[in-house]
Amino acid sequence: MSPIATSTTRYSRILGTGSFLPADRVTNQALADRLAADGVETSDDWIVERTGIRARHFAAPDQTASDLALPAAQAALEAAGIAAEEIDLIIVATSTPDMVFPSTACMLQKKLGVHGCAAFDVQAVCSGFVYALSVADSMIKSGAANKALIVGAEVFSRILDFKDRTTCVLFGDGAGAVVLGASSEPGILATELHADSRHVDVLCTPGTVAGGQVLGSPFLKMDGQAVFKLAVGVLEKVARSVLEKAGLTEADLDWLIPHQANIRIMQGTAKKLKLDLNKLIATVDEHGNTSAASVPLALDVAVRNGRIQRGDTLMLEGVGGGFTWGAALLKY
Ligand code: UT7
């Protein structure tokens, strides 16, 4: 890696985005029908009204997080006009890794057919992508990396208890990626990360592997109302804080891309920030909650459909298990 000598401020900028959804698109009605066969009652009406979700994608039984990450990463590299060999840092944000170790980032590096660059996972559940972006931004600004591939990739369908209707209708699988590169132009303007471990129990998958067995529950558990209340509180606060750090106000925002968990939380955050709802990027209706993949998936969709243009000011926000949250303010 050859550090770029600069006399000006060194920023990190998004050079390209990509995403990937597994082929199996499951509508609420199709999911309700599958669940009914096991005596679990839900409906399209309930899911749409409470969450805004209409469909989600589920990975095939043999598809892993790195399998979803690979096409998302390739699309981001292509959009950036960068060869995989030029990447000197890979960070994958995931809570559903391919295996206990090596990291999903190492599995992705292998699938990209490259070797040598730093590769590691970040585990901050639904805040994972914003955490990974912030780490990569710091590494680029410090000169430790020049071109980073940051991916959020999840197969949450693997950890869903399909007998628990309060959680299994909410999540989906997918991957989103960005290539971040060193630049004299801003770039990521400000980031902020938080965790409050007093709430570790509100959203967790408490099992672990030991002695050749899974110990504890391998399924996701969530106190939905507690998470809802925590989320609406922190998302407005952290957005205002990163705006202040960058010397901007909410009036400077072109787009808000919050974690895609529930349209009510997302619209509530936009309203608290006094943002017109047409500045909210929402893909939760088609993706469900894809945890660490949700923000880069939504970002890529909005870039590719032309809503987000070069020079726009974006607020990305993550929130989820840990309890974790964070935001990244950037010029696209
Ligand atoms: O990714 C990390 C971030 N996660 C989130 O942000 C999730 C935050 N939480 C939420 O989005 C919402 O709390 C939920 C969507 C999970 C739940 O919505 P809610 O409006 O808080 O519903 P509730 O938990 O108060 O449940 C209302 C009723 C209950 O029935 P009773 O007790 O009123 O008779 C539930 O048993 O809805 C029932 N219910 C369902 N009914 C049909 C719960 N799940 C379902 C379901 N289908 N799938």
29-67 pLDDT, tens digit per residue, is 999 999 999 999 999 999 999 999 999 999 999 999 999
* Low-confidence residues of the chain: pLDDT under 70: 1-7
Q: 188-331: which CATH architecture?
A: 3-Layer(aba) Sandwich (3.40)
- Residue with the smallest CA separation from ligand 1 atom 29 is 166
- Residue with the smallest CA separation from ligand 1 atom 35 is 166
CATH 3.40.47.10 assigned to domain 7-183? The reply is yes
- Residue with the smallest CA separation from ligand 1 atom 4 is 261
Q: How much distance in Å is there from the Cα of 166 to the middle of ligand 1?
A: 6
For residue 216, cis peptide bond before it (omega within 30 degrees of 0) = no
User: What confidence score (pLDDT) does residue 234 get?
Assistant: 97
CA distances from 116 to 3, 68, 84, 87, 111 (A): 16, 22, 11, 10, 13
> What are the structural domain ranges in the chain?
7-183, 188-331
Q: How much distance in Å is there from the Cα of 266 to the middle of ligand 1?
A: 16
Stated pTM of the model: 0.96
Smallest CA-to-CA distance from 206 within 327, 125, 315 is with 125
User: What confidence score (pLDDT) does residue 7 get?
Assistant: 53
Question: Annotated active-site positions, please?
Answer: 126, 259, 289
- Residue with the smallest CA separation from ligand 1 atom 43 is 166
Domains 7-183 and 188-331 share a fold: yes
268 lines ligand 1 (CB under 6 A): no
Q: How much distance in Å is there from the Cα of 221 to the middle of ligand 1?
A: 12
Please give the full DSSP string across 137-156, using - where no structure is assigned: HHHHHHTS-SEEEEEEEEEG
126 lines ligand 1 (CB under 6 A): yes
Q: How much distance in Å is there from the Cα of 265 to the middle of ligand 1?
A: 13
166 lines ligand 1 (CB under 6 A): yes
Ligand 1 atom with least separation from CA of 171: 1
